[in-house]
Homo-oligomer: A and B are copies of this chain.
Amino acid sequence: MSTTPSPAGPRFELLGQDGKARRGRLQLPHGTVETPAFMPVGTRGAVRGALDREDLLQTGSTLILANAFHLMLRPGAERIARLGGLHTFMGWDGPILADSGGFQTFSLAAQCHIEETGARFRSPVDGSEFMLSPERSMEVQQLLGVDIRTVMDECTPYPVTETQARESMQRSLRWAERSQRACGPDGILFGIVQGGMYPQLRQDSLEGLLAMGLDGYAIGGLSVGESREQMLTVLEYVLPRLPARQPRYLMGAGTPLDIATAVCCGTDLFDCVLPTRNARNGHLYTSTGILRIRNAVYRDDPAPVDADCDCLACRTSSRAYLHHLDRCGEMLAARLGTLHNLHYYQRLMRQLRESIAQGTSTAVLARIARLYAASAGTNALQKSAAAAPPQP
């Protein structure tokens, strides 16, 4: 039941399905990833919140995301290569997927000018100008030595006109072809389906990418301000049109409900800053909904954040202690909160994987939907997540 899209490609086995939900196993140079899987975001070569490698493993994370754009600026891709590659540099010997830098055409749009050659940026580090072309992005990702590279694309903003979305998508397709040529046959390369909210453009994008025969397919241009219904419409359109035997990655999503929904639509891979960023802002995920640890009601609460959780924070700390640490600005508040939230996300992924094997994935989705519909804090959180400026 396995397939290898190309000799250099990842070995992706489909282990089972439940409706459209897929249970899989992705074999990569640095290890095996059980899917559906969630990638913590290690933008600058570290997952924020002072997490070390052991902490990440404790959360159940197996695959992490790094950012080619930020690492090429600081400390520099050539430097990381000289130091033995990103795995050695950051002391993480598990699989790593790199974002190409395409997301920064959206998140740093004010400092970015798109040309046919590539994206011309003003560096957020030192203000200097530089060009991130598909060729340079591939070179950077190769220097980093990541397990999965992604094509350089333009992350189409929302809202845009159909004409703008088409131009952007078509350029992304041309960039994908240049990315593939630059990547060569030895790298594992994922394409990125663009096209905004326009089904025909999504269709054109995925047909173009499928013709190239890439190793996996990401869905980009979502989690950029559109509604959940719009995201779901795009997912339901794109996912069934992707090859069943290759991994599918929804970029930048999302809330637990977004993820459970997308898994039930047939998505395999996810990344999002929500669990780590929310932890630093005191929003903690629990089996009974969102807990805002800054709320004064927790000052005297001896209970753990979640009695059902066995993360380091819940094993050792009360809500009262975490509330106190947060009030004092102690880094330990961010670290324990981040450990907890990633643990929550990874447990959700494990539950989703198990439920697919057992044919009960829609029951998990229904539970998550009820939970976050019932949690008074959720809507506000989702609004605040949507309103927050995108992380560069």
Q: Answer whether A90 and B327 are a contact pair too, CB < 8 Å, given A50-B335, A52-B312, A299-B79.
A: no
Partner of A335, one of B52, B79, B336: B52
Q: Does A331 contact B (CB under 8 A)?
A: yes
Q: Answer whether A50 and B334 are a contact pair too, CB < 8 Å, given A79-B299, A328-B74.
A: yes
Q: Does A15 contact B (CB under 8 A)?
A: no
- B89 and A46 form a contact (CB under 8 A): no
Q: What is the 8 Å Cβ interface bit string for chain A, positions 293-336, against chain B (1 contact, 0 not)?
A: 00000011010000000001000111011011101101110111
Q: Does A53 contact B (CB under 8 A)?
A: yes
Number of copies: 2
Q: Answer whether A324 and B45 are a contact pair too, CB < 8 Å, given A84-B302, A300-B83, A331-B334.
A: yes
Q: Answer whether A48 and B302 are a contact pair too, CB < 8 Å, given A89-B320, A320-B89, A324-B75.
A: no
Min C-beta distance of A201 to chain B, whole Å:
37
Partner of A79, one of B83, B89, B300, B316: B300
Q: Does A171 contact B (CB under 8 A)?
A: no
Range class of the A interface residue count: 35 or more
* Interface CB pairs A-B, < 8 A, 29: A44-B325, A44-B330, A46-B325, A46-B328, A46-B330, A48-B330, A48-B331, A49-B331, A50-B330, A50-B332, A50-B334, A50-B335, A51-B332, A52-B316, A53-B316, A74-B324, A74-B328, A75-B299, A75-B320, A79-B299, A79-B320, A83-B300, A83-B318, A83-B320, A89-B320, A90-B321, A91-B316, A331-B334, A335-B335
Residues of B within 8 A of A75 (CB): 299, 320, 323-324, 327
